[in-house]
Structure 1
Amino acid sequence: MSHSSIIASAQRTIELEAQSVTGLKAFINNDFIKAVEDIAAARGRLVISGIGKSAIVAQKIVATLNSTGTPALFMHAADAIHGDLGMIQQDDVVMIISKSGDSPEIKVLVSLVKNFGNTIIGMVGKIPSYLAQHSHIILNTTVEQEACPNNLAPTTSTTAQMVMGDALAVCLMELKGFNSADFARYHPGGMLGKKLYLRVNDLSVQNEKPAVQPEATLKEVIVEMTKKRLGTAVVINGSNQVLGIVTDGDLRRMLESTADLGKLTAKDIMSKSPKTIVADALATEALDLLRAHDISQLVVTENDCYAGIIHLHDLIREGII
């Protein structure tokens, strides 16, 4: 193939896939509404089954649903008729995914599930099929053609199935009022979990807490900044409330503008009203503040008292940036 032929083939595939997704709009009907409502109202789980490429799509939909608050599990259609039917409980809703709706395993599975009395949702790409005729609810994922040049390999059809599954998941999320706090509970690990769950205090507690009184001498301020190794010292009063902050920049500006250093104290050098953040704020909120004010650290407060320092390096170390 020439380079131009490769590009043309790829673009044709993308166009066909896009058409298959856009075409799904016509199939969002009363059956789709009923599917969403029945799944949401079910006292059990959503059991999703399929065979071949549809089985792989089913696994992805199960993963999406579980992570967004809808209990779901995957049951392979071939394994189902060899013992895995025991996964289906009385209160479960069963969704079977198939392009043709007529494969032998699907026909057997549909008959067995009907005998159990469970609601069957058929996600099917062929309406005059066994699956469509014997399902209580039909999710139509018909496509005009596969992107495969032989119109054989599942391509546009599996894309349509995947998108229909995403549409179900998003509607269920909104119906249940599933929010970012809920999402964080199901994603405590990895980078996503950190962004949704990690709090300022989780990071600031690992740092030193450089602090001086307003009357501290210049030498005492420099010693505190050096000892605590954060390049800053927070000026606090006797009630541990923040009065100001002394940074490396404040020291440089003071040295440039002042000849007599002997009588300077922390309150003479400090910047008043430093940028602060509460201890239980999300770490991502700290990042937003640092970026908005183009600074490298924030004073952390708790109950209006000094609680520590969070530095840009803390966020980099945790991979928040």
Structure 2
Amino acid sequence: MNDILLNTARQTLLLELQEASRLPDRLNDAFLRAADAIIRCQGKVIVSGIGKSGHIGKKIAATFASTGTPAFFVHAAEALHGDLGMIESRDVMLFISYSGSAKELELILPQLQEKSVVLLAMTGKPLSQLALAADAVLDISVEREACPMLLAPTSSTVNTLMLGDALAMAVMQARGFNEEDFARSHPAGALGARLLNKVHHLMRKEEVPNVRITATVMDAMLELSRTGLGLVAVCDENEQVCGVFTDGDLRRWLVAGGGLDAEVSAAMTRGGLTLNAQSRAIDAKELLMKRKISAAPVVDDGGKLVGAINLQAFYQAGII
């Protein structure tokens, strides 16, 4: 029994891969027309289909929506009972039907033509009713479904999904859609935390550890203890950061025989790493990791101290 299960699974995958391997050769002028229609679309991309095509269509619509192209899925049957009202002349419809002869098309196509909606077809039948009415036809045909009975849509649904992804990715690239754009569509979770947060969103703004450059090592040590961040920013009279004084600087100073009444400028790390408040949090965190530093002062564009941050703040925000 186990051998039968594994052999069937392997055969299914091999058949689907074989059918999918033919797709790159089908990227022709029709694909370019479809992509251009979506890029030029002033409204929304409406994806529609019936049965398994509908299930795949929901995923394709979601992929478009999350990569910079306003899109949603409308079930073909629901379209005939009111949802056609969602479709406007400035929209593009992507209809998925392997046979291209779903009975709903007889009522839907005239309505689309009346509204002058651009129609894109994903079908396995280039001479079907759907294909003949479409402005561009994307070929999802297969020689064989992976179903042993040649009945359940398998290879054809894989082709549909892959060609939909190819279309969405091509349009995304043409639009110049980038990581931050993607994150704005996914603000929750780790992705949004990594790409949307800036340093100023996470930094400590109150009780920022700092002393003037004329302060003593004792003053800086007390500030270290008071704030517990592991560093103190040493600033001039204009709040420009001149250096940092850390736990490590204190230990090295004391081991070397330095006194607590000496000026902190003699014991601090001159210059030191500062982070810009407007920089991306993920970039700042990676810089701290690269420099093997656990915390840093935060400055504005003019170099003025505005906050401080440590690695724990990044971890708490889900930036890992």
Change over 3 Å in CA distance of 1:263–1:219 after alignment to 2: closer
Find the residue that maps to 1:138 and give its secondary structure: strand
Find the residue that maps to 1:75 and give its secondary structure: strand
**2:143 corresponds to which residue?**
144
CA deviations 1:129-163 (Å, max 9, x no partner) are 32223322101111232333333222222221112
Letter matched to residue 128 of structure 2: S
Find the residue that maps to 2:177 and give its secondary structure: coil
Alignment map for 1:24-43 (pairs within 5 Å): 24-43=23-42
Change over 3 Å in CA distance of 1:253–1:47 after alignment to 2: same
TM-aligned CA deviation for residue 238 of structure 1 = 0.9
Q: TM-score, normalised by structure 2?
A: 0.91
TM-aligned CA deviation for residue 164 of structure 1 = 1.3
Letter matched to residue 57 of structure 1: I
**1:57 corresponds to which residue?**
56
Change over 3 Å in CA distance of 1:207–1:192 after alignment to 2: farther
TM-aligned CA deviation for residue 91 of structure 1 = 1.9
Partner Cα distance (2:235, 2:117) in 1: 66
List runs of 5+ in structure 2 lacking aligned partners.
none
CA deviations 1:271-296 (Å, max 9, x no partner) are 12211221000001112201211221
Q: CA contact under 8 A between 2:189 and 2:318: conserved in structure 1?
A: no
Find the residue that maps to 2:104 and give its secondary structure: helix
Which of 282, 301, 309 does residue 284 from structure 1 map onto?
A: 282
Q: CA contact under 8 A between 1:208 and 1:309: conserved in structure 2?
A: no
**2:93 corresponds to which residue?**
94
Q: CA contact under 8 A between 1:207 and 1:309: conserved in structure 2?
A: no
Partner Cα distance (2:260, 2:59) in 1: 69
Alignment map for 1:48-197 (pairs within 5 Å): 48-197=47-196
Find the residue that maps to 1:60 and give its secondary structure: helix
Q: CA contact under 8 A between 1:286 and 1:298: conserved in structure 2?
A: no
Find the residue that maps to 1:104 and give its secondary structure: coil
Q: TM-score, normalised by structure 1?
A: 0.91
CA deviations 1:227-261 (Å, max 9, x no partner) are 11212111111111111111112222223222x52
List runs of 5+ in structure 1 lacking aligned partners.
none
Partner Cα distance (2:16, 2:263) in 1: 69
Letter matched to residue 216 of structure 1: A
Q: CA contact under 8 A between 1:64 and 1:169: conserved in structure 2?
A: yes
Find the residue that maps to 1:274 and give its secondary structure: coil
Which segment drifts farther, 93-102 or 10-19? 10-19
Partner Cα distance (2:260, 2:134) in 1: 88
Letter matched to residue 209 of structure 1: V
Size of the aligned set, in residue pairs, is 319
* % identical equivalent positions: 39
Letter matched to residue 236 of structure 2: N
Partner Cα distance (2:268, 2:155) in 1: 64
